[in-house]
Amino acid sequence: MRNNVKVSLEAKAVTNPGSAYEKYNSLTYFQDFQTYLDNLKKYFNSFIGYGIGINPQKKEKCFEIAQIYANSPAEAEGLAVGDLIFEIDRQKTSLLSFNKFMEMLQSGGEGTYMELGIKSAADERRVSLVKSFIPPTYQRGNQE
């Protein structure tokens, strides 16, 4: 049996006239709350990325996708384990070392666009991914 828990968070600014806190407005509280949420994301093992794990060994002069994270941009674009990346931002991966490839893949923050050339068993295509927040995925034992 699963327990459904609903959590609600509400931020309110409470000030007393003439107090030291009067100088803070709701924007300040929102920014503090946003910082708090950002720290929660880090704490719970989430990350910002495209949602792919890469095999460091080249296959057919390409880098192979070894892992796809749930609820990620890569999953949303239909990428699959075993797909080969032949280009990253229009640069051929056959000319890149693994370290240079990973540097390109990991550069930029949330909202960064990356274009990948993908070879799969079915076709060859280009996909654009946007680096975004990827929530943690939890593995649980049997639930009855």
pLDDT in tens, 85-135: 999 999 999 999 999 999 999 888 889 999 999 999 889 999 999 999 887
Quote the strand ranges of 60-112, DSSP E. Answer: 62-68, 84-88, 91-92
Q: Measuring CA to CA, which residue among 112, 130, 125 is closest to residue 80?
A: 125
Predicted pLDDT at 7 = 43
Q: What is the mean pLDDT of residues 27-32?
A: 62
Rounded to an integer, what distance in angstroms lies between the CA atom of residue 34 and that of residue 11? 10
Asked if residue 77 has pLDDT above 90, the reply is yes
Average per-residue pLDDT for the chain:
77
What residue ranges do the domains of the chain occupy?
49-134
Q: Which residue has the tokens 């949420």?
A: 37
Both tokens assigned to 95:
């000319």
Superfamily in which the 49-134 domain is placed by CATH = PDZ domain (2.30.42.10)
Predicted pLDDT at 34 = 73
